[in-house]
Structure 1
Amino acid sequence: MDKVVRSAEEAVADIGDGASLAVGGFGLSGVPNVLIAALHRQGARGLRVVSNNCGVDDGGLGTLLAARRIARVVGSYVGENKEFARQYLSGELELELTPQGTLAERLRAGGAGIPAFFTPAGVGTPVAEGGLPWRYAADGSVAVASPPKEVRTFDGRPYLMERGITTDFALVRAARGDRHGNLVFAKAARNFNPLAATAGRVTIAEVEELVEPGRIAPDEVHLPGVFVHRVLELTPEQAADKGVEKRTVRG
Structure 2
Amino acid sequence: MRAALLQMTSSDLPEENLATASAMLCEAKEQGAEFAFLPEVMNCLSTSRSHQEDVLKLEAEDATLTGLQALCAELGLWLLVGSLGLKTNDTDGRFANRSFVISAAGDIVARYDKIHMFDVDVTPEETYRESDGYRPGEQAVVAKTPFGNLGLSICYDVRFGQLHRKLAKAGAEILTVPAAFSHITGAAHWETLLRARAIETGCFVIAPAQTGKHPATKGQSRRTHGHSMIVAPWGEVLADAGTEPGVTLVDLDLTLVQKARRQVPSLQHDRDFSGP
With normalisation by structure 1, the TM-score equals 0.35
Instruction: State which structure, 1 or 2, has the greater radius of gyration over its C-alpha atoms.
Output: 1
TM-score normalised to structure 2 length: 0.32
